[in-house]
Structure 1
Amino acid sequence: MHDTSPTDATNARGIHLVGFDADDTLWRSEDYFAAAQGEFERIVGGYIDLDNARARQRLLAIEKGNLALFGYGVKGMALSMIEAAVDITAQRISATDLHRIVSIAKDMLRHPVELLPDVREAVEAVAREHAVVLITKGDLFHQEAKVRQSGLADLFGRIEIVSEKDDATYHRVLGEFGLGPAQFCMVGNSLRSDIAPVLRLGGWAVHVPYHLTWEHEREADIDPAVQARWRELGGIGGLPAAVRGLHELACEQH
């Protein structure tokens, strides 16, 4: 793993630091959220017609409205599901079924971490050529536990667990490394959180889509003018070559 010091960063040509998202980039996550939503719908479906009540859309609206209060992750989702269940059923949902929703969240928090294929090899390969950092958002306790269980913590020079991944967050992280955006590349599955903010700042990005993505994370506008500064892959196995190619472009523009 390359060392990252302010002096080295100031003089570095091309990409000096590569950031990795965690959930659905390194290990499975959205599968469990989708399963939880399915169970939520089965519970409230005992009280109302799901289609007529637009249960899925109403849950999404409540989750998005609560992000500023609860943040991302299982605990915020559970509180939003309880609020949505009370609202959708016009307060008719039983205490037993509310307890079932709490149990869904507890099961998710206990779920083992399952790495996606080729992840360790890809991160190791990138780390041989660049400094690497993990930048993930969500509940602090849960994300810390997942990082420990993943067996990947030793690969990263730094692990950042943040409440939001937006322009300000990336600007702060890069400032702490003494880097400019043009020296940074972000890797992740979310256009909204991993790709668009970094491109807006003037950085580089590699999008590795997951087969499931929360609708909120698909909401992103990317200027076609920055198309040359990011790549989209079918799997993380192609990441080392993609980062190498972007690094060469970044060196040319230095």
Structure 2
Amino acid sequence: MSHILTTIGFDADDTLWHNERYFRLTQDHFAELLADHTESDTLMGRLLAAERRNLPHYGFGIKGFTLSMIETAIEVTDGRVPASVISQILDAGRDMLSHSVDLLPHAAQTIQTLRSDYKVLVITKGDLLDQERKLAQSGLRDLFHGIEIVSAKTPEAYTRIFAQHGTGADQGLMVGNSMASDVIPMIDAGGWGVFAPHGLSWAIEHATAPEHPKFHEITNLGNLPDLIKSIITGDIHATG
């Protein structure tokens, strides 16, 4: 095991399996339900504002998203939203909590490749029950040396997790599709942050890529083992 890098953390949603597409489908249905009251673009802007406003109260995940849809429906109808629409929004939220778990390419193979030489962790945020369900259904759960479901991904959270499961954040790497949650706070904790972009991403997770020697970007998880080899052999300059 390399003393430069000992522990690899993986984000879950839209890094190991599809997730955002279910939110987009639900948003489309939400727009259809409120089509008589406002334009779709306006509605999505109001919904995003509600999600930002509600994050400190509800946290990340489907339940908070569902409550934000209900709040937005009440706002755009001036409190006149029919009970039948509220019922359909609740149904849509429940459907999201039972959607299938479809792995992204290279997810299982990459974890299998790395786990013999490194401690591999899954570090995810969102609804506890939903994340546990997806992990169980993914078939990946037993491949990880540690599982952390957190309320927010902060430098402090990464410092704690990589100290608990590994040899510290400075010898850890976090890979995920969110620049704001997976990359920047991990680098701020002293580790490597690897961006693996997904075709769909939530606006709240957007951030500018950092100019830092411990930041890297890959096109998919299949590129991760070679990137790690380059880091530990010094082919990529990664200090700081």
- TM-score (ref. length: structure 2): 0.94
- CA shift digits 1:98-150 (9 cap, x unpaired): 11100111111111111111211011111122110110000000000000000
> Shift of residue 177 of structure 1?
3.2
Q: Work out which structure has the larger RCO, using CA pairs closer than 8 Å and 6 or more positions apart in sequence.
A: 1
Q: In structure 2, what is the Cα distance between the partners aligned to 1:243 and 1:130?
A: 11
Aligned AA (1:23) = D
* Cα contact 1:47–1:93 (8 A) shared by 2: no
| Contact residue 18 and residue 184 of structure 1 kept, 8 A | yes
Query: Structure 2: which 5+ runs fail to align?
Result: none
Report if aligned partners of 1:19, 1:185 keep a CA contact under 8 Å in 2: yes
Partner of 1:203: 191
Corresponding letter in the other structure for 1:111: H
Structure 2 residue aligned with 1:5: none
Decide whether the 8 Å contact of 2:10 with 2:176 is kept in 1.
yes
Residue in structure 2 matching 1:240, options 222, 225, 229: 225
Percent sequence identity is: 39
- Cα deviation, 1:71-109, whole Å, max 9, x if unaligned, reads 111111000100011001111210001111001111111
Aligned CA distance change for structure 1 residues 132 and 62 (closer, same or farther; 3 Å): same
Q: How much has 1:38 moved relative to structure 2?
A: 1.0
Superposed CA RMSD: 1.9
CA contact (8 A) 2:6 2:172 kept: yes
Residue 9 of structure 1: aligned partner: none
Gapped regions of structure 1 (runs ≥ 5)? 3-11
Higher helix share: 1
Counterpart of 1:155 (choices 143, 163, 179) is 143
Deviation at 1:173, TM superposition (A): 1.0
Deviation of the 1:171 alpha carbon: 1.4
Give the aligned partner of residue 156 of structure 2: 168
The 1-side partners of 2:232 and 2:17 are apart by 25
Q: Which amino acid aligns with 2:20?
A: E
